[in-house]
Amino acid sequence: MATKNGRKVLAARRAKGRARLS
């Protein structure tokens, strides 16, 4: 997904994953 929305979604999912791991 190289779309603008795709990037935002990926970033958001990454942040959520980090928060859950922490």
CA distance linking residue 22 with residue 20, whole number of Å: 5
**pLDDT for the residue 17:** 79
**pLDDT for the residue 16:** 86
Tokens of 5: 């929305």
Task: For residue range 1-20, list pLDDT tens digits in order.
Answer: 567 888 888 888 888 878 77
Contact residues for 18 (Cβ-Cβ < 8 A; gap 6+): none
Contact residues for 1 (Cβ-Cβ < 8 A; gap 6+): 7, 9, 10
Kindly report whether the global pTM for this prediction surpasses the value 0.75: no
